[in-house]
Amino acid sequence: MSLDRQPSLTGTLVELRPLLEEDWDALFAVASDSEIWAMHPMHDRWREPVFRDFFNDALAKGGALAVIDRSTGRIVGSSRFERYDSADGGSVEIGWTFLAREFWGKGYNREMKRLMLTHALQAVQRVDFRVGDANTRSRRALEKIGARLSPDRVEKPLVPGVGIVLHLYYEIDRENFASGPLSA
């Protein structure tokens, strides 16, 4: 089974749908909050030219989703399915996720990840999450949804304007998802 990297998914709090060029203004309004990016390796992504590159990359690669607050119908963030590999049972990376701060700690990220994992794990055996070592906020969020740190999988990319940044991998496979905190 092939993975649709731009599905429309609906939960109680959020709707996820393919990101569109016309989402620029609404998504940049969210992304322009510098606090969202404070722990992220690309901590200046709140700046318009930097976010424009991020946005254009998301559109060019496919797999990007707009996060819509169901109660208001407004865009409150984004996430992506990236690095899809159909070999050996298949894997995909979920990442590049951000939400407006007013939605932090209120179940929005949890529901978004549950929807994305449920969708992905129908087609792949494993979902990966790559996160900067110093991004403790994202690391805690991944641990809360049952993602396990893969200590033997690290990456040290050169991040423009930042330098070498240690990225850690977390993962959730079908078996762990079925018995984990998001399965209910």
The domain tally of the chain equals: 1
Give domain status of residue 132, yes or no: yes
CA distance 111 to 2: 23
pLDDT average, residue stretch 141-150: 89
Q: Are 110 and 182 in contact (CB under 8 A)?
A: yes
Given a cut of 70, whether residue 184 has pLDDT beyond it is: no
How far apart, in Å, are the Cα atoms of 94 and each of 16, 33, 72, 115?
13, 22, 25, 11
What does pTM read for this prediction? 0.89
- Count Cβ atoms within 10 A of the Cβ of residue 49 and give its class: 0-12 exposed, 13-18 middle, 19 or more buried: exposed
pLDDT at 112: 95
| The token pair that represents 50 in the structure block | 């930097």
Give domain status of residue 160, yes or no: yes
Give domain status of residue 1, yes or no: no
Give domain status of residue 21, yes or no: yes
Given a cut of 70, whether residue 97 has pLDDT beyond it is: yes
Residue ranges of alpha helices (H) inside the chain are 24-31, 48-61, 108-120, 136-144, 174-179
Give domain status of residue 88, yes or no: yes
